Amino acid sequence: METIINNKYKVQSVRDLTDSTYVVRINRYGMQFKAGQNLNLGLAGDTEKRDYSIYSGINDDYLEILVKEVDEGLVSKKLKRLNPGDQLEVDGPFGFFTIKEEDENSRKFLFIASGTGIAPFHSIMRSHPGIDFKIIHGIRYSNEAYEKTHYPKGNYISCVSQDKKGDFIGRVTDYVKQNPVNKDTLIYLCGNVNMIYDVFDILKEQGVPSENLHAEVYF
């Protein structure tokens, strides 16, 4: 069995989802993590590193991250050019954006994401397949519904703002306004900070207690 040396993880593959979004798969080397946590990583020997939520599940024998290439990105452009066998320096896992064991089989979950903020929810879904959940995913175009077939039918709703091919035409905020949330639901939000603030305000108006709200700002 291969062992990890100086936090260097070997790349297995890069899987394109759109022209600018892709999944990097690396060797796991037995790393233990909780679904919803993140990794800090970059190319081996490079000083630039970024935090990415883990996209894969706790039972997968590999690690994956979901990456959006951005024009000014110092790391995302380099990760897209990776080849199998290349090495990344990886630290972690970090973070507390996780579900509690006592809630897993007794509570309903609503996961609200924008863009690649869906990554931790993909990990949670793969790691805890028995949970009662729904995902609301805010995206601009329908082709950004990243690997939506991975989710059980009816559990994933794309809210598309720039074309007419989504499950819901409009923004996440529009969907939440039109579909009030049960006050007992545990709600996790990940993505754009403005989306999170706006949805928080809507949910509080609907009577959802603040202790049921959990957020991770992704960008």
Separation of first and last alpha carbons in the chain: 37
Q: Which helix (H) or strand (E) holds 169?
A: strand 168-169
Query: Domain residue spans in the chain?
Result: 8-94, 108-217
C-alpha 72/C-alpha 64 separation (Å) is: 23
Which pTM does this prediction carry?
A: 0.96
- How confident is the model over 149-199, as pLDDT tens digits? 999 999 999 999 999 999 999 999 999 999 999 999 999 999 999 999 999
Q: Per-residue pLDDT averaged across 104-116, rounded?
A: 96
DSSP H helical ranges for 66-115 = 76-80
Q: What is the mean pLDDT of the chain?
A: 95
DSSP-derived letter for residue 191 is E
Task: State CA 211 to chain mean position distance.
Answer: 21
Residue 72, pLDDT score:
84
Predicted local distance difference test score (pLDDT) of residue 1: 56
Share of the chain above pLDDT 90, in %: 94
Mean pLDDT of 5-27: 95
For 20-51, how does the pLDDT look when each residue is reduced to its tens digit (9 = 90+)? 999 999 999 999 999 999 999 999 999 999 99
CATH of domain 8-94: 2.40.30.10
pLDDT at 71: 87
Distance of CA 2 to the CA centre of its chain: 28
Radius of gyration of the chain (CA): 17
Instruction: Return d(Cα 114, Cα 139) in angstroms, integer.
Output: 6
Class at the top of the CATH hierarchy for domain 108-217:
alpha beta
SS3 state of residue 77: helix
